[in-house]
Structure 1
């Protein structure tokens, strides 16, 4: 309970002393509404959800490819540079 109170007091002091800093660290209501609407669309629209999952899978495949390429280049004796 004391920890919760201490965190609350620290938050109040930060907001009063550094309002611009705290404002910059917290998402605004417009951003939250955009995220919530996209989540609702993911839940309600199966076609949009399928496209979103396909895009996510493609991005993940690119990350895995880049990691595999870096591992392969690190394994070359001359560091992978041109001969």
Structure 2
């Protein structure tokens, strides 16, 4: 009886291997899987559910937005100064002719 069980076990394993090689999508569909949320989804759930985490997230977001706006203002001022300098070089001064 023990030999028969071993043979059945080996035959079942071989059949499983053949099925996995030939029909991977089918076996994946019938195999039960636990749904695990992605790291980002889990973090967003934590932010939505915990008031302390939500307050920290909002503070960091406000700081990042303020930093972005300050950088944008600095860049705008730099671009305006560069445009004025280029315009001064390109446009002829009063009393001069363009060459």
TM-score normalised by structure 1 residue count? 0.51
Q: Does 1:67 align with 2:58?
A: no
Residue among 48, 57, 61 paired with 1:43: 48
TM-score normalised by structure 2 residue count? 0.43
**What CA RMSD, in Å, does the superposition of the two structures yield over aligned residues?**
2.2
- Mark the runs of 5 or more structure 2 residues left unpaired by the alignment: 1-34, 87-99
- Mark the runs of 5 or more structure 1 residues left unpaired by the alignment: 1-28
Greater Rg by CA: 2
Structure 1 runs of 4+ with >3 Å offset: none
Higher relative contact order (CA 8 A, sep 6+): 1
- How many pairs were matched up? 50
Q: Secondary structure at the match of 2:38?
A: helix
